[in-house]
Amino acid sequence: MFKSSYLNELMERVIARNPHEPEFHQAVREVLESLEPVVEQSPEYVTSGVLERLVEPERIIKFRVPWTTDDGKVVVNRGFRIQFNSAIGPYKGGLRFHPSVYEGIIKFLGFEQIFKNSLTGLPIGGGKGGSDFDPKGKSDSEVMRFCQSYMTELFKYVGADVDVPAGDIGVGAREIGYLYGQYKRITNLYEGVLTGKGLTYGGSLGRKQATGYGLCYFTQAMLEAKGSSFDGKTVVISGSGNVAIYACEKATTLGAKVIAMSDSNGYIVDNNGIDLDAIKEIKEVKRQRIKEYITTHPTATYTEGCSGIWTVKCDIALPCATQNEINEESAKALVKNGVSAVSEGANMPSTPEAIAVFREAGVLFGPAKAANAGGVATSALEMTQNSERLSWTFEEVDAKLHTIMINIYNNASSAAERYGMPGNLVAGANIAGFLKVADAMLAQGVV
């Protein structure tokens, strides 16, 4: 329940107009809760209908993606692209290929992307896309045929100055390569229509590392504000994909010891510190399950099931797998074991109940919109390099990423303070992200 009857009615309308989409409702509710003091102080956001317009995507594209398996069977998947808000720049946001994908997941991710992209300070609007296709267990040629079919429809709606997708769960360098090849073939355009591209065809150095590194830069800023740091801390990271791997790499460089990682089957604990080269070989090169780790690291343990990872005692937890992976029970287990900071690499990995547990216990909490914005920020830097027809060095990109993450922390922190919620980075990130988009929408009239 909100104090404002206007916000209550708006939330009810969102639920009624988007039934059976609990993840989208969850994402909207969190933002509206944060905006309550803003709306109170600035009624023009209500009278101009900015909030009603923000919760309604500008465009939803939904399409059939037929493709053929290696043994000749025809399979039909469903493709999505939601172009949520273009007030401050072309739509930008990843593509997710995972069997759990449906319209509500893409809507929640696209909605969050609006505020995240605004927080980066770069000119990018919010969008997201994907499919219920599961790349796991498919051959390279099956993945290629799927990607080609997906792009054969998607190309009508995207472009370097229109909408620029990137990777997300299930969409890595391989998928981006196939998607880019098909776009170029159909349109005869060599342009920066996708980010996360390979380095030989317009990709940016540092993009692969950006979300994980950015997460650690943000978390370090959050810790430093309290006189702490990664140095000497134990860290648990869920997932073992793109975000998790590079979060592990940077946290280790900053002096921490990462002791646990997971995949969608289970988790490993290595009290000697995770051997990241082994994880990269298993997950990036061989595309195997994480349990393979214990065959070469006999002192490590493997446990089936994902949620148990939050019972591993640690100082810092970095959820980097998927939405709602930390529920109230997991949050309580983390707090009981003395966690001092939780920072979100994945999108919306903590349930509202979990966030409440962290807040009550005084745990430092870095919300996804702010903490994982380094990926999309570096994607925007890739767009800049493509427009310039130039490539920057790794050091240049990484330095820019570092500055962006520190600015995001400072902006979220000062917005929280300005609206009477010091230390509440959830509210601060939502407010800081909102204000820029809302002011652009006000300036552009009712569109």
Q: How far is the CB of 270 from ligand NDP (least distance, A)?
A: 16
Q: How many Cβ atoms sit within 10 Å of the Cβ of residue 10?
A: 20
Q: How far is the CB of 315 from ligand NDP (least distance, A)?
A: 22
3-state secondary structure 343-396: ECCCCCCECHHHHHHHHHHCCEEECHHHHCCHHHHHHHHHHHHHHHCCCCCHHH
- The CA-based angle 166-323-346, given to 5 degrees, is 50
For strand 341-343 and strand 316-319, is the pairing parallel, antiparallel, or unpaired?
Answer: parallel
Q: Would you call 128 a catalytic residue per the annotation?
A: yes
| The binder of ligand NDP chosen from 21, 112, 142, 168 (CB under 6 A) | 168
Residue 110 contacts ligand NDP per CB under 6 A? no
Q: Please check whether residue 432 is in contact with residue 415, taking contact to mean a CB–CB distance below 8 angstroms.
A: yes
Q: How far is the CB of 92 from ligand NDP (least distance, A)?
A: 11
Residue 321 contacts ligand NDP per CB under 6 A? yes
Distance in angstroms (rounded) separating the CA atoms of residues 129 and 107: 9
Question: Of the ranges 13-21, 66-74, 119-127, 340-348, which one interacts with ligand NDP (CB under 6 A)?
Answer: 340-348
Distance in angstroms (rounded) separating the CA atoms of residues 327 and 442: 37
Q: Please check whether residue 162 is in contact with residue 192, taking contact to mean a CB–CB distance below 8 angstroms.
A: no
Q: How far is the CB of 13 from ligand NDP (least distance, A)?
A: 27
Nearest-CA neighbor of 276 among 250, 237, 245? 245
Amino acid identity at 153:
E
Q: Which is nearer to ligand NDP, 7 or 215 (CB)?
A: 215
Residue 322 contacts ligand NDP per CB under 6 A? yes
Q: Which is nearer to ligand NDP, 103 or 439 (CB)?
A: 103
**Chain residues 264-293 in contact with ligand NDP, contact rule CB under 6 A:** 264-265
| The binder of ligand NDP chosen from 263, 270, 315, 382 (CB under 6 A) | 263
Give the pair of three-digit tokens for residue 246. 């590079």
Nearest-CA neighbor of 34 among 435, 445, 442? 435
Q: Which is nearer to ligand NDP, 38 or 209 (CB)?
A: 209
| The binder of ligand NDP chosen from 345, 366, 367, 433 (CB under 6 A) | 345
Q: How far is the CB of 163 from ligand NDP (least distance, A)?
A: 17
Q: Please check whether residue 206 is in contact with residue 374, taking contact to mean a CB–CB distance below 8 angstroms.
A: no
Number of residues that bind ligand NDP (CB under 6 A): 24
Nearest-CA neighbor of 56 among 131, 117, 129, 110? 110
Distance in angstroms (rounded) separating the CA atoms of residues 376 and 92: 8
**Chain residues 40-79 in contact with ligand NDP, contact rule CB under 6 A:** none
Q: How far is the CB of 446 from ligand NDP (least distance, A)?
A: 32
Q: Which is nearer to ligand NDP, 306 or 437 (CB)?
A: 306
Q: Which is nearer to ligand NDP, 228 or 384 (CB)?
A: 384
Q: How far is the CB of 436 from ligand NDP (least distance, A)?
A: 19
In DSSP terms, 366 is beta-bridged to: 343
Residue 375 contacts ligand NDP per CB under 6 A? yes
Q: Please check whether residue 87 is in contact with residue 437, taking contact to mean a CB–CB distance below 8 angstroms.
A: yes
Residue 170 contacts ligand NDP per CB under 6 A? yes
**Chain residues 228-257 in contact with ligand NDP, contact rule CB under 6 A:** 239-244
Q: How many Cβ atoms sit within 10 Å of the Cβ of residue 309?
A: 28
Residue 343 contacts ligand NDP per CB under 6 A? no
Distance in angstroms (rounded) separating the CA atoms of residues 158 and 164: 6
Q: Please check whether residue 374 is in contact with residue 348, taking contact to mean a CB–CB distance below 8 angstroms.
A: no
Q: Which is nearer to ligand NDP, 42 or 307 (CB)?
A: 307
Q: Please check whether residue 190 is in contact with residue 262, taking contact to mean a CB–CB distance below 8 angstroms.
A: no
Q: Please check whether residue 152 is in contact with residue 122, taking contact to mean a CB–CB distance below 8 angstroms.
A: no
Q: Which is nearer to ligand NDP, 239 or 441 (CB)?
A: 239
| The binder of ligand NDP chosen from 85, 209, 340, 372 (CB under 6 A) | 372
Q: How far is the CB of 372 from ligand NDP (least distance, A)?
A: 4
Q: Which is nearer to ligand NDP, 10 or 371 (CB)?
A: 371
Exposure string of 223-247, with b = 16+ CB inside 10 Å and e = fewer, is: beeeebebeebbbbbbbbbbbbbbb
- Residue 44 φ/ψ region, left for φ over 0, alpha for ψ in the -120 to 50 degree band, beta for the rest: alpha
Residue 209 contacts ligand NDP per CB under 6 A? no
Enter the DSSP assignment of 58.
Answer: S
Site string for ligand NDP, 126-165 (x = CB under 6 A): ----------------------------------------
Catalytic residue among 92, 107, 128, 197: 128
Residue 169 contacts ligand NDP per CB under 6 A? yes
Q: Which residues are tagged catalytic?
A: 128
Binding site for ligand NDP (CB under 6 A): 167-170, 172, 211, 239-244, 263-265, 306, 320-322, 345-347, 372, 375
